């Protein structure tokens, strides 16, 4: 219950960003960078516009499967870690930088590689004594690449920014509706003089890092759970096809809301395979006193364990069983129709954090995951190779829960 004690504290008093930055040596890996412009663009502009992007995102997802995946006329092994990285990156870039830049191979490579360089470079730098890190950073290739990633992002973004600027006076040109514009508008409205083209490129890298890899991993976990439990495939596929009937087969905003069985399966998959066993991470920027009298000194990082299944509420049923429709059944009561959703952070479901500073991109992530899973289930049958028995065990890296990268899922296109 002590998690409730942190809820009243603002992000400047108990900071999730500072906790993340400490984990990844953010001062050197460049992620120790909290921006009100970026936060507002995600928390307000992105969430407000999510419904308008459903068709666009699905179009990018379809384009990726058509151009990046093999024909899959017969059972074909797919490396999900590699292929879904491209799908999620391009689908996300459609909202972040707009079309046609979302299909620019150079931009997609830069925005996906940056996160890997941050994580790998940070781990290598942590092996050095803090006193030596100012010098050690120049001996770690990934740290050099991080600086190069930022330069490359700016170099790739500049032509797009200039093109947009040149069209500002054209009355026949509709203004772009994407994160580039939202950030620019916020900087203009707040008269933020520190915001420039370089800062915009840096924020685009940080946004991509936050969005792409966690979303990809959630989809992989869900597909592993589906391949290991094929009895869920047909009911989920039937739900997807049924809710899309009223849109002539075109995915729309209301369809995602109506996919309650898929939402439940996603939540159950995440319950068993959370992105991290440590959630609600906060760095105390001020001294904090808990309700039990314990004092947290400023500078201390606290976190909650998301992997204690035994503490699941009794009304949820067997906590250790995988019940893909657990939350669908819980939502069947009229008074609970809007509860237990994938993107709902609660004390019993903290995968997206907790309180008013919960993950601001959780609704975006939920939409992306649903759109991609709905596309896969509508177009493919999936299964594990015959040699794979049951659900492959996850790997742990620090507090991160990773799907086994050595296992392939077989895809076969539905005729």
Q: Is the dihedral of CA 89, 91, 92, 94 positive or negative?
A: positive
Spatial distance between the Cα atoms of 68 and 105, rounded to a whole number of angstroms: 12
Q: Report residue 290 as tokens.
A: 């808990």
Spatial distance between the Cα atoms of 301 and 284, rounded to a whole number of angstroms: 6
Phi then psi for residue 77, to 5 deg, are -70, 135
Inter-residue contact 355 to 370 (CB < 8 Å): no
359 is in an annotated binding site: yes
Spatial distance between the Cα atoms of 350 and 245, rounded to a whole number of angstroms: 34
Q: Is the dihedral of CA 121, 19, 274, 368 positive or negative?
A: negative
Segment 252-257 long-range contacts (CB within 8 Å, at least 24 positions apart):
252/54, 252/55, 253/50, 253/51, 253/52, 253/54, 255/54, 256/54, 256/366, 256/367, 256/370, 256/371
Strands 409-413 and 76-78: antiparallel
Helix, strand, coil % (nearest 5) of the chain? 60, 10, 30
Question: Which residues partner with 301 through β-bridges?
Answer: 283
**388 CB-near residues (< 8 Å, 6+ apart):** 227, 407
**Annotated binding-site ranges for heme:** 359
**Annotated binding-site ranges:** 359
């Amino acid at each position: 219950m002590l998690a409730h004690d942190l809820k009243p504290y603002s992000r400047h008093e108990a900071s999730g960003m500072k906790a993340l930055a400490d984990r990844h040596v953010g001062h050197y890996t460049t992620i120790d960078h909290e921006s009100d412009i970026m936060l507002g663009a995600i928390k307000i502009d992105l969430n407000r516009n999510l419904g308008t992007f459903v068709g666009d995102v699905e179009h990018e997802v379809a384009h990726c499967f058509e151009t990046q995946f093999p024909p899959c006329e017969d059972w074909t092994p797919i490396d999900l870690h590699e292929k879904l990285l491209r799908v999620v990156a391009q689908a996300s870039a459609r909202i972040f930088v707009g079309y046609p830049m979302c299909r620019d191979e150079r931009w997609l490579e830069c925005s996906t590689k940056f996160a890997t360089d941050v994580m790998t470079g940070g781990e290598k730098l942590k092996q050095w004594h803090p006193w030596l890190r100012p010098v050690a950073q120049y001996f770690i290739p990934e740290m050099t690449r991080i600086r190069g990633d930022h330069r490359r992002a700016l170099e790739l973004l500049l032509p797009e920014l200039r093109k947009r600027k040149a069209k500002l006076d054209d009355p026949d040109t509709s203004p772009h509706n994407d994160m580039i514009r939202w950030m620019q508008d916020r900087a203009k409205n707040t008269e933020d003089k520190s915001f420039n083209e370089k800062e915009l490129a840096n924020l685009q890298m940080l946004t991509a890092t936050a969005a792409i890899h966690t979303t990809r991993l959630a989809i992989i976990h869900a597909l592993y759970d589906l391949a290991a439990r094929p009895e869920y495939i047909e009911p989920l596929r039937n739900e997807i096809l049924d809710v899309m009937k009223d849109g002539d087969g075109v995915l729309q905003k209301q369809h995602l809301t109506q996919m309650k069985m898929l939402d439940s399966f996603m939540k159950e998959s995440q319950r068993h395979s959370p992105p991290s066993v440590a959630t609600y991470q906060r760095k105390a920027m001020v001294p904090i006193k808990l309700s039990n009298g314990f004092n947290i000194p400023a500078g201390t990082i606290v976190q909650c364990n998301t992997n204690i299944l035994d503490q699941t509420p009794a009304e949820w049923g067997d906590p250790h069983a995988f019940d893909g429709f657990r939350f669908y059944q819980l939502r069947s009561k009229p008074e609970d129709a809007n509860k237990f959703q994938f993107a709902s952070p609660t004390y019993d479901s903290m995968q997206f954090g907790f309180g008013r500073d919960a993950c601001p991109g959780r609704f975006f992530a939920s939409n992306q995951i649903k759109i991609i899973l709905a596309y896969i289930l509508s177009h493919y049958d999936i299964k594990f190779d015959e040699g794979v028995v049951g659900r492959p065990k996850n790997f742990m890296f620090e507090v991160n829960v990773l799907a086994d990268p050595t296992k392939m899922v077989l895809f076969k296109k539905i005729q």
